[in-house]
Amino acid sequence: MQNEKLKQIRQAKELEYGSFENNMTNIGRMWSSLLGLKKDIPGHLVASMYVAAKLIRTRQSFKQDTYDDAQNYLHQAELMQKNEKKV
């Protein structure tokens, strides 16, 4: 039940914002450029940093959306990192 709910959230977000993987990769490039890094921050690490931000939010009052987002970011980070190792 929970996995289906999270899948539906991921699908809705992709329709609204486009490809998660492309967005994380582009954010990694942008952050790397702003920080003056020689290598791009990989997309899976960007997603992991978003997980960390969501975990910080859990210190405040409970909001289910925060936990749902953190789970989805972590799931996507896992898939992205697995795919990076295959390339």
**pLDDT at 2 > cutoff 80:** no
Encode pLDDT of 28-59 as tens digits: 999 999 999 999 999 999 999 999 999 999 99
Q: Taking a C-beta distance cutoff of 8 angstroms, is the pair 52, 22 a contact?
A: no
Rounded to two decimals, what is the model's pTM?
0.87
Q: Taking a C-beta distance cutoff of 8 angstroms, is the pair 47, 74 a contact?
A: yes
What pLDDT, on the 0 to 100 scale, is given for residue 85?
A: 75
**pLDDT at 61 > cutoff 70:** yes
Residues 6+ apart with CB under 8 A from 80: 21, 24, 42, 43, 44, 47
Q: Which domain holds residue 61?
A: 2-86
Domains: count for the chain: 1
| 3-state SS class at 63 | coil
87 to 4, 33, 41, 47, 84: CA distances (angstroms): 29, 23, 16, 19, 5
